[in-house]
Amino acid sequence: MVISKLKYFTLYLTVLIPIVFLITFLPSNETVPVLWAAELNVRATVPPRLHLNILFQLPEITISQPDVQRGYLELPSVSLFEVESNNPNGYLLAFEGSLGPFKEVHIQGLNNPAQLENGNAFILQPYTRLKKETIELSYRGILSKNTTPGLYPWPFTISVQPVEYLDNKRKKR
């Protein structure tokens, strides 16, 4: 191993010294013939990064008699979180769980309006060049027929999942 490193160092000096000599002692208006040329290709792979940081999530929902009579409940600014992603394909924002006292939930605050009808949804979010994207969501929950006034736990979780397109998988094979 030491001998191998010594050989490379000697070869390096053998090439470097004549080049330095030519550059140093030739007049600046003369051209230097190229003795040899090399091409160096560098390839870097950036590991994917996807991280969700929940800043605030309403832990429970209070439904009043006027909400039941109206048939829906407005929940303004009850989810606040940050997402970090370096994937140019974007990421999936996942809502998973149940609908609890609702028959459907309308989500506001994303690029496009979204709706939960069975408690689960995966919504494609586009790539942004921001280091951290802060998202604040509001909801309108359409109440189920048998919903009564009371305190209910928050019905679903929010998570993020990476996006991989089939074309990218085919290229890797």
Under the phi-then-psi rule, with left for phi > 0, alpha for psi from -120 to 50, and beta for the rest, what region is 98? beta
For 103-152, the pLDDT digits (tens) are 999 999 998 889 998 888 999 999 888 789 999 999 999 999 999 999 99
> Minimum mean pLDDT among 13-17, 84-88, 128-132: which range?
13-17
Instruction: Tell me the C-alpha distance between 71 and 93, whole Å.
Output: 27
- Domain residue spans of the chain: 50-163
pLDDT mean across residues, the chain: 84
Does the domain formed by 50-163 have CATH 2.60.40? yes
CA-based nearest residue to 103, from 68, 138, 137 = 68
